[in-house]
Amino acid sequence: MPVFLLSNELIFPPPQLASKEGIIAIGGDLDIDRLLLAYQTGVFPWYAEGEPIMWWSPDPRLVLFPDEIRISRTLKKVLRKNQFRVTMDTGFERVISECAGTRHDEEGTWIVDDMIDAYINLHRAGYAHSVEVWQDENLAGGLYGVSLGGTFFGESMFTNISNASSVGLVKLIEYLKSISINLIDCQVKTDHLIRFGAREIPRSRFLKLLKLSVNQPTKKGKWEFV
């Protein structure tokens, strides 16, 4: 299948035209309007330093339905101990920087400086959110993603202390359920998220669910636990 070259026009080709690897387009920019359109279309950016912006829509798609979350016995014990304090949207820039640093340790990162700046802009516009997990005054772990309508698009997570990001994920899912977000996009398969109950579904089904979901009202602005 062809890979489309984006122009200044704010448009994406249908994600069904993505290559076998999931690439649908290259080029364009990371402005807020383009990023929001990408997520609404079922597309996300993913590229490395020195590469052009690459846009993806993989098939199958990894998703997690909040009602299907699985929590291991070990993690349940950690949650009962209350050894971590969890906040939301109190340190977005720090969380995304930590996620980028973690990826650098894994021989390269897709969270390049331009991506960091773009998602900070999304956060300031009320669409991107972070979860911070603290042990005492130390940032033990966290994650961030984008919220549109009834979907949360998970982007990345990091852990400095064992189980910290897992606790953050559980608390986030509890919060998402409370605000009627019923679809979490996990993008591509990871064993870690599979253990939490995530599963792969055909891209065609994901796009149908997304179309219904993004029409719901978006809870913009700062998120916080009640």
Q: How far is CA 113 from CA 85, 127, 154, in A?
A: 29, 19, 19
71 and 154 share a domain?
A: yes
46 and 139 share a domain?
A: no
26 and 92 share a domain?
A: no
pLDDT tens digits, one per residue of 48-62: 989 999 999 999 999
Q: How far is CA 176 from the centre of its chain?
A: 13
Structural domain count of the chain: 2
136 and 188 share a domain?
A: yes
pLDDT tens digits, one per residue of 104-145: 444 445 799 999 999 999 999 999 999 999 999 999 999 999
Query: Domain residues for 26?
Result: 4-58
Per the CB < 8 A criterion, the answer to whether 161 and 226 are in contact is no
